[in-house]
Amino acid sequence: MKSAVQTENAPKAIGPYSQGIRVRTSELLFLSGQIPLTPAGELVAGDIESQTEQVLKNIASILEAAGSSLNHVLRCGVFLTDIAEFPKMNAVYSRMFGENRPARTTVQVLTLPGPGLRVEIDAIAYIP
């Protein structure tokens, strides 16, 4: 149903992501960008690791509600307010996704929609 696309004719992935993902399904799930708020709406203050973990927990909860999981994520967009925090975000991202390596884009943005926000992540997944 899902397979990684890899070719020697393009640069190898240098992190926990795939060059591309191929999926044969008609049930795609598009998640809006998630920010580090708890289900009660409180900001997870502190470091990029704590914020990234909360964002991915939020994504996992939405996926579960739709009948999917982090294992079925095909692509993520990661938005950081400080690209210097990329290695720390990447470590949490790698731990949370495990062996699943979605295609991914990571960019630095000037700001996110709220004070204290350091990371936002959106996702595309499939429902098996």
Q: How far apart are CA 13 and CA 20, in angstroms?
A: 10
Tell me which residue range forms the domain holding 66.
2-126
* Number of domains the chain is built from: 1
Q: What is the mean pLDDT of residues 73-99?
A: 97
58-81 exposure pattern, b = at least 16 Cβ within 10 A, e = fewer: bbbebbeeeebebebbbbbbbbbb
53 with 91: CB under 8 angstroms?
no
Please state, in angstroms and as integers, the Cα–Cα distance from residue 104 to each residue in 18, 39, 69, following that order.
7, 25, 17
What is the rounded average pLDDT of the residues 60-87?
A: 95
Rounded CA-CA distance 85/5 in Å is: 28
CATH number, domain of 114, equals 3.30.1330.40
Average pLDDT of the chain is 90
pLDDT band at 7 (very low <50, low <70, confident <90, very high): confident
Tens of pLDDT along 16-71? 878 777 777 668 888 899 999 999 989 998 899 999 999 999 999 999 998 889 99
Name residue, tokens 């079925």: 72
pTM of structure: 0.83
